[in-house]
Amino acid sequence: MAGNPERRAALVDAGVEVLAREGARGLTFRAVDAEAGVPVGTASNYFPSRVDLLRQIDTRLHTRLAPDPGVLATLMNRPKDRALVAAFMHDLLARATRDRTGYLALLEMRLEATRRPELHASFTKSVRGDLEEALEHHRAAGLPGGDETVTVLYLAVLGLLLEHLTLPGVLDGVLPGVSVPDGLVDRIVVTIVPEG
């Protein structure tokens, strides 16, 4: 297995692009090589199997879509109230929108994990880890609401992101006077997160 870390990272990012654009069926070593602009056979030298490539894409996506520590630090200087929860959700929405390709690839990973038992456990663990991290962050920050609030918020925002990034017109005009997606984020937070 080849060991150039920069080339490996470029191949993984090329895999993200292919996965988002073509879906899991289109994610082949040859397609990754073409996307990365490298000779045919390069990806197969870096990844022993397609499952290994998918696992590394999973790891990379969690890095690409992670919050910026500087943004988090700035937000944490604000009062620990519902408005701060909304700010965190707007930051999440902005990150997913900015890296739409990454988020679509993450959705493809979910689907692929339902089909491949060898991915199901590791992907479930990584997504569950994200949820656990959100729960712990909410607790440690002293934000309003408990674990139930965070879990329902997670599910609502996940649904919003799914619609906004895959079929953006679906939510237009559903709630008159509420902008999509930002106004919907605010409505979700007000509906789910208690005051104070």
What is the rounded average pLDDT of the residues 48-74? 96
pLDDT of 123 reads 95
Residue 163 makes CB contacts below 8 A (sequence gap 6+) with 170, 171
Q: What is the mean pLDDT of residues 77-82?
A: 97
d(C-alpha 70, C-alpha 40), whole Å: 40
Average model confidence (pLDDT) for the chain? Answer: 96
pTM greater than 0.85:
yes
CATH of region 65-192, choose from 1.10.357.10, 3.20.20.10, 1.20.1250.20, 3.30.1330.50:
1.10.357.10
- Residue (of 194, 130, 168) closest to 184 by Cα position: 168
Please write the tens of the pLDDT for every residue from 96-153. Answer: 999 999 999 999 999 999 999 999 999 999 999 999 999 999 999 999 999 999 999 9
pLDDT class of 196 with cuts at 50, 70, 90: confident
Confidence of residue 51 (pLDDT cuts 50, 70, 90): very high
Mean pLDDT of 55-61: 96
Position 70: which residue type? Answer: G
Burial of 160 (0-12, 13-18, 19+ CB in 10 A): buried
pLDDT of residue 107: 97
SS3 at position 65: coil
For residue 106, give the nearest of 94, 123, 90 by alpha carbon.
123
Which fold, 5-55?
Arc Repressor Mutant, subunit A (1.10.10)
Q: How many alpha carbons fall within 13 Å on the CB side of residue 134?
A: 23
**Domains of the chain: which residue ranges?**
5-55, 65-192
With a cut of 70, say whether residue 47 has pLDDT above it.
yes
Question: pLDDT tens digits for 20-43?
Answer: 999 999 999 999 999 999 999 999
Q: How far is CA 43 from the centre of its chain?
A: 24
Q: How far apart are CA 32 and CA 41, in angstroms?
A: 10
Residue 146 gets the label, from left (phi > 0), alpha (psi -120 to 50) or beta, of: beta
Residue 1 has a pLDDT of 61
Mean pLDDT, residues 165-172: 95
